[in-house]
Homo-oligomer: A and B are copies of this chain.
Amino acid sequence: MPQHKIISDTISQLSIAKLASRKLAKSSNIDRNKALDLISNELLESKNFILTENQKDIEHGRKNNLSNALLDRLLLNEKRISAMAESITKVMNQPDPLGKIIKSWKHPKGMDIKQISVPLGVVCVIYEARPNVTTDAISLCIKSGNAIVLRGSHHAIFSNSAIVNVIHRALEKYVRGYSGMPLLGADVVQYISDKNRDETIKILQAEEYVDLVIPRGGEELKEFVLKHSKIPVIGAGGGTCHLYIDESAAEKIAVDIAVNAKTQRPGVCNAIETILIHKNIAPDVLPRLEKALLDKQVQVFGCERTTKIVKSAKPATEDDWYKEYLDLKVAVKVVDSLEEAINHINKYGTKHSESIVTANKENAKKFQEEVDAACVYVNSSTRFTDGEEFGFGSEIGISTQKLHARGPIALEQLVTYKYLITGEGQVRS
């Protein structure tokens, strides 16, 4: 299979992306959907090619002693490729995020003013090992009319290049849009390969060509990007998420949610890291919670009051309250009141996802109002913070910042707006 030529000069690639973004911005939803449909099909048809290339990354990873967890993130199989294709179709089926009239009104002097949604332009996604981020990011950007610059991990270079080549081929099948004008084409997707971070720094300085940078990975990657970027950044940061078990909580619900939010997938950002429990219910609930957590091999780090009840707990230090374990470990603290729980979360949390289990509606309301986080849950697991679970088709990470995008970064977060003002010669007096 001939590989699409991947250009080696980063700045040229960025300028090609910028030019391509201007054409893409004018495309219709029909054009963009057709392109996504072709991409989804081409991905399924090229399954074997992608799996062969993925094996090279896996072998390379084994030789370089990558951890099993990392190898699992890298690994593709038929099921995972099908899921990637399916996810593209889900994005395709979302409503068009572009050209929406957000507001319209008349100026007293008679001009029409419209605020409408438009693409950002060129979006750069810098990510780590999971090859499915490649297809998620590409499909969300194309659907939202943005050209995309991808910079993935060198551990996934064979897999990512294969996926990008397949997508380029699909896009080349559809260079002429609905109107007969050339619209999409391989240029809207640029992959930049960069073993060290020299090329990444070039991207982060190229404010002329790139409109938004999204680092998707650990805190270290986010810090690196924020430090070097002259371009606006939406950080998909870590999640030190909490579950607070209120005095009135139903025990079964509390234990079920604690176990699900901690263990259903401990390595992800929406898993909980700390459980807070009201002092009046702690003596009853903590022993059953301990048993349920021990069944799942979870180690508890407890405050002084916790360790008196939970015999298997190790004492927690101040550091534990800040930690994102991303592992079968959890910090547990007994609190005197709902207020103490809220203050603890606002102090130690990362504004990602926080949950309360309670039968008291007033307390539920207070918790949702006063906890400062992207997603605040009542009687449900923090594990639902996810673009697909929220019905957005897919996502490029979870934003823990408050500006522009908060929570899942999906189609509606990949657009901006502009004001169109139409008059008949009006001037300001």
Could you tell me if B391 and A264 are in contact, using CB atoms closer than 8 angstroms? no
Q: Mark A396-429, 1 if CB is under 8 A from B, else 0.
A: 0000011110110000000011111111111111
Which residues of A (306-343) have their CB < 8 Å from a CB of B?
Answer: none
> Which of chain B's residues has its CB closest to A364's CB?
B422
Given A416-B403, A427-B260; A421-B378 close (CB under 8 Å): yes
Cα A402 to Cα B369 in complex, Å, equals: 29
Shortest CB distance A77–B (Å): 21
Q: A120 within 8 Å of B by Cβ?
A: yes
Given A257-B427, A370-B22, A428-B264; A419-B376 close (CB under 8 Å): yes
Cα A381 to Cα B423 in complex, Å, equals: 9
Could you tell me if A380 and B105 are in contact, using CB atoms closer than 8 angstroms? no
Could you tell me if B427 and A381 are in contact, using CB atoms closer than 8 angstroms? yes
Which residues of A (370-391) have their CB < 8 Å from a CB of B?
Answer: 370, 372-381, 383-385, 389-391
Could you tell me if B212 and A379 are in contact, using CB atoms closer than 8 angstroms? no
Query: Which of B232, B260, B407, B416 is within 8 Å of A419, CB to CB?
Result: B407
Could you tell me if B375 and A428 are in contact, using CB atoms closer than 8 angstroms? no
- Number of residues of chain A lying within 8 A (CB) of chain B: 64
Could you tell me if A422 and B264 are in contact, using CB atoms closer than 8 angstroms? no
Q: A113 within 8 Å of B by Cβ?
A: yes
Write out the residue numbers on chain B whose beta carbons fall within 8 Å of the beta carbon of A22.
346, 370
Write out the residue numbers on chain B whose beta carbons fall within 8 Å of the beta carbon of A212.
402-403
Q: A250 within 8 Å of B by Cβ?
A: yes
Could you tell me if B376 and A421 are in contact, using CB atoms closer than 8 angstroms? yes
Shortest CB distance A105–B (Å): 7
Write out the residue numbers on chain B whose beta carbons fall within 8 Å of the beta carbon of A239.
none
Could you tell me if A232 and B376 are in contact, using CB atoms closer than 8 angstroms? no
Query: Which of B121, B403, B407 is within 8 Å of A372, CB to CB?
Result: B121
Write out the residue numbers on chain B whose beta carbons fall within 8 Å of the beta carbon of A197.
none
Q: A41 within 8 Å of B by Cβ?
A: no
Write out the residue numbers on chain B whose beta carbons fall within 8 Å of the beta carbon of A385.
419
Query: Which of B107, B384, B390 is within 8 Å of A389, CB to CB?
Result: B107
Could you tell me if B256 and A379 are in contact, using CB atoms closer than 8 angstroms? no
Could you tell me if B384 and A107 are in contact, using CB atoms closer than 8 angstroms? yes
Write out the residue numbers on chain B whose beta carbons fall within 8 Å of the beta carbon of A373.
418
Q: A26 within 8 Å of B by Cβ?
A: yes
Write out the residue numbers on chain B whose beta carbons fall within 8 Å of the beta carbon of A364.
422
> Which of chain B's residues has its CB closest to A402's CB?
B416
Q: A253 within 8 Å of B by Cβ?
A: yes
Which residues of A (1-59) have their CB < 8 Å from a CB of B?
Answer: 22, 25-26
Q: A86 within 8 Å of B by Cβ?
A: no
Could you tell me if B211 and A425 are in contact, using CB atoms closer than 8 angstroms? no
> Which of chain B's residues has its CB closest to A110's CB?
B380
Q: A111 within 8 Å of B by Cβ?
A: yes
Shortest CB distance A380–B (Å): 3
Q: Mark A193-234, 1 if CB is under 8 A from B, else 0.
A: 000000000000000000110000000000000100010101
Shortest CB distance A38–B (Å): 25
> Which of chain B's residues has its CB closest to A377's CB?
B421
Contact surface of A with B, Cβ cutoff 8 Å: 22, 25-26, 105, 107, 111, 113, 120-121, 211-212, 226, 230, 232, 234, 250, 252-253, 256-257, 260-261, 264, 346, 364, 368-370, 372-381, 383-385, 389-391, 401-404, 406-407, 416-429
Can you list 26 A-B pairs, Cβ within 8 angstroms, ordered by A? A22-B346, A22-B370, A107-B391, A111-B380, A253-B424, A256-B425, A257-B427, A264-B428, A374-B419, A375-B418, A375-B419, A375-B421, A377-B423, A378-B420, A379-B422, A379-B424, A379-B425, A379-B426, A380-B426, A380-B427, A381-B428, A383-B427, A384-B426, A390-B419, A406-B418, A407-B418
User: Can you add 19 more A-B contacts, CB < 8 Å, to A212-B403, A376-B420, A380-B425?
Assistant: A22-B370, A25-B370, A105-B391, A250-B425, A253-B424, A256-B427, A261-B427, A264-B428, A374-B418, A375-B418, A375-B421, A376-B419, A377-B422, A377-B423, A378-B423, A379-B422, A379-B423, A381-B428, A390-B419
